[in-house]
Amino acid sequence: MRVLMFDYDGVIANSFLVVFNIYNSVCEQYGLSKMNKDEFVHLYDDNFYVDVVSRGMKKENIPKMIEDFRAGFLKHEKEIQMFDAINEVVNELSKNNKIIIVTSSETSVVKKFLKKFKINVNEVLGADIATSKIEKIEIIKKKYPNSDFAFITDTSGDIKEGKKAGVKCFGVTWGYHNEQLLVREKPQKIFHSSAELLEFFQ
């Protein structure tokens, strides 16, 4: 059996502007500085929550930040669209693979989006379950032993975490990080369109 783990923001959901604006609206209450877009993408060079803590946020405030982002997503949910044809790709792949979302967003928000756009997945593991994607991937590996695992993401930080968790990692260029940033972490392959992704995994 093959388990395809998809990141959510930047792979399925075209959410960058919403996430960026939410961050800048709440960051100062956590002792963090506002950022421009070029600075913000580098919060994803490693794990997002590890990065904000390294920049001065107290670790015990992570659950509150997750809740703030959840509220922000719900407030601006109409602004978040899926990437072109990604619903068709995921639904086609779900016929012969287990599809699991591994995300830094909150689980219920992601489930609501997937339901809205009729995207079929087996499970969603959000930041409320664990902030570490290594930990979430380990949960999946234990649940589906002896499977072939692939993690599909748009950030170099996710590729780092996926590799540490011992799974194959694949990059997509339509999300938060450009191809240059993805290449540095040496993913198995980089996809430039959802059609390429479908052709590879089908």
pLDDT tens profile 41-80? 999 999 999 999 999 999 999 999 999 999 999 999 999 9
One domain, residues 41 and 134: no
Q: Among 78, 113, 131, where does a domain finish?
A: 78
**Model-level pTM?**
0.96
149-191 per-position pLDDT tens digit: 999 999 999 999 999 999 999 999 999 999 999 999 999 999 9
Provide the pLDDT for residue 118.
Answer: 96
Provide the pLDDT for residue 139.
Answer: 98
Q: Which residues of 91-113 are buried (b: 16+ CB within 10 A; e: fewer)?
A: eebeeebbbbbbbbbbbebbeeb
103-135 per-position pLDDT tens digit: 999 999 999 999 999 999 999 999 999 999 999
Assign 14 to helix, strand or coil: strand
Chain-wide mean pLDDT for the chain?
A: 97
Q: What is the CATH number of the domain that holds 124?
A: 3.40.50.1000
Provide the pLDDT for residue 144.
Answer: 97
| CB 92, CB 198: distance < 8 Å | yes
By residue range, what is the domain housing residue 151? 2-14+81-201
One domain, residues 86 and 135: yes
* Parallel, antiparallel or unpaired: strands 13-14 and 123-125: unpaired
- Sequence-distant (6+) residues with CB within 8 A of 36 are none
Provide the pLDDT for residue 21.
Answer: 98
